[in-house]
Structure 1
């Protein structure tokens, strides 16, 4: 049985997905199809991880009718949850999918009370010591007490991060993986005071080297929509970079592609795959996710096909 992974997906959403043949702001649209389901980075990650064969334990804040719907849906698919029930309702995320592109409308996050933060701290303590692998996914709700997680003991744990805000304390302790997108990478470089001369052919090597020298990150991955996926690490104190351009496919819905990438890396790493194979698996799963309406609907056979396409395309630089 796959090792359980504690997923901290603290800012979930109830997803409303509208499919349109044409979307023009300012006009009246008749929606051809509507889907509603539990969503958010932690939920997407957990469901894809489960689909791949992993065993997630999902911890999240839930409130109101949408929070109850999320709990029921995730329970029905067999994922273990550790919910923290809150007074304010879980936010709604509305996505307009049209012509392979997605427009997202995201409601403000719920605001947490002191009591709800205390409840979170107590619930996390019940699971933290037994967790060997922990994944932090996405943003925090408003008024989340970051000290709840800043002072956690990482000893004996493999920690993975798909987030950018208020996670410096985690990065300084050392993580197995930091997976962020290009805008988030720019934010990280700004925080570290690393110059961003994007016109330089040495931009990636200079900036990634600086990040890895300043922070104890084992693997750094930067995704950028249709651009190449870039993965960086040090091997015996030598900088190594691997780049791969995802194959072009017919996109149904690309929301959650990054979450699917993260989930696949978690699974591949838990199965003992090496750095390159983790990158291949994660890229293949992210691409396969874009071909279907919902993240967890991806075909494992299709993932295997994409892996065979992607593997020869890896470009390694040192």
Structure 2
């Protein structure tokens, strides 16, 4: 069995999903179907990782009203949790799905108090020394004391990040994977002072090389919805780039596609798959997720089918 992965999804949400035939701003809509469930990047990632055969341990802040519902739902799935209970309510994310596109309305996150920060680090310390695989997913809630995790000892750990804000200290220590979208990648380039000439045919190679030379990131992956996925690494100072175009499908709901991709990479890496195999597996998982209404409804058989199609589509550049 794959080793347990500690998932720090510290800003969960209660998801409300509204399906309408056609969404037009400013008009009254008849909702054809409503779905509600526990969500947020960490939860989406953990549920997909469990489905693939992984062993997640979720750590998150849970507030009044929807917090207990999230805890009960995740517990019913058989996933271990290390919740930190807080006074303010867990946020709600309302998503309108129409014709394969999604519009998200995300409430402000709860504000974490100093005593709740203390509860968090006390709980985290109970697991940290025995954990070798840690995945950081998404944003931090308001008031979270990021120095609590910046000061942790990373020795002997494999760190995976699907986030861009307040993660510089983690990136500087060295991570196994940084998975971000194109918008987040441009933010990272700006922070590092790396020029962004996206019209240049050398944009990806020049910028990714600069990032990997400055930060000890083993694998850097940039996704961009239906556009090709770009994956980079430096091996003995030799630059490697893989490009993979996701399979064209009829999208049912793409919320959490990036979280599913991240879960696919976590599982593939835990199984000892190589750089290219991790890219193929994670892309197949993300595509399969978009074909169903909820992240954990994806089919393992469909993932295997997509992997077979994608293997021959990988473009290798050096």
**Alpha-carbon distance in structure 1 between the residues aligned to 2:22 and 2:180:** 31
Partner of 1:310: 310
Q: Which residue of 1 aligns with 2:48?
A: 48
| Structure 2 partner of 1:58 | 58
Residue-by-residue CA offset, 1:52-107 (whole Å, 9 max, x unaligned): 00000000000011011000000000000000000000000000000000000000
TM-score w.r.t. length of structure 2: 1.00
Q: What is the alpha-carbon root mean square deviation over aligned residues? A: 0.4
Unmatched segments (≥5 aa) in structure 2 = none
> Counterparts of 1:312 and 1:187 in 2: how far apart (Å)?
32
**Structure 1 residue 169 and structure 2 residue 169: aligned?**
yes
Shift of 1:129: 0.4
Matches within 5 A, 1:95-134: 95-134=95-134
**Cα distance, 1:236 vs structure 2:** 2.0
Q: Which residue of 2 aligns with 1:93?
A: 93
Pairing 1:258-273 to 2, within 5 Å after superposition: 258-273=258-273
Partner Cα separation in structure 2 for residue 149 and residue 193 of structure 1 = 25
> TM-score, normalization: structure 1?
1.00
Runs of 4+ deviating beyond 2 Å: none
The alpha carbon displacement at 1:263 in A equals 0.3
Identify the residue that residue 29 of structure 2 maps to in structure 1: 29
Give 2:75's aligned residue: 75
Partner of residue 301, structure 1:
301
Structure 1 equivalent of residue 285 of structure 2: 285
Partner Cα separation in structure 2 for residue 31 and residue 157 of structure 1: 46
Query: In structure 2, the residue corresponding to 1:64 is in which secondary structure?
Result: coil
Instruction: Name the structure 2 match of 1:255.
Output: 255
**What corresponds to 2:8 in structure 1?**
8
Give the distance between the partners of 1:75 and 1:41, measured in 2 at CA. Answer: 17
Q: Equivalent residue for 1:189?
A: 189
State the alpha-carbon separation in 1 of the partners of residues 58 and 206 from structure 2. Answer: 37
Partner of 2:179: 179
TM-superposed deviation, 1:237: 1.2
Which residue of the partner structure matches residue 209 of structure 1?
209
Q: Aligned equivalents of 2:236 and 2:165: distance in 1? A: 30
Q: Following TM superposition, by how much is the alpha carbon of 1:290 offset from its aligned partner in structure 2, in angstroms? A: 0.1
Q: In 1, distance between residues paired with 2:179 and 2:310?
A: 19
Mapped partners of 2:153, 2:147: distance in 1: 12
Deviation at 1:22, TM superposition (A): 0.8
- Where structure 1 has 5 or more consecutive residues not aligned to the other structure, the ranges are none
The reply on whether 1:219 has 2:219 as its aligned counterpart is yes
Alpha-carbon distance in structure 1 between the residues aligned to 2:231 and 2:27: 42
Q: Cα deviation per residue 1:252-274 (whole Å; 9 max; x = unaligned)? A: 00000000000010000000000
SS in 2 for 1:187: helix
Deviations 1:136-160 (A, max 9, x none): 0000000100001001100000000
Partner of 1:229: 229
Within 2, Cα distance between the matches of 1:234 and 1:168?
Answer: 19
1:2 Cα deviation after fit: 1.8
Which digits, 9 at most, give the CA deviation of each residue in 1:220-252, with x for residues without a partner?
A: 000001110000001221000000000100100
| Secondary structure of the structure 1 residue equivalent to 2:287 | helix
* Aligned residue-pair number: 318
Instruction: Give 1:142's aligned residue.
Output: 142
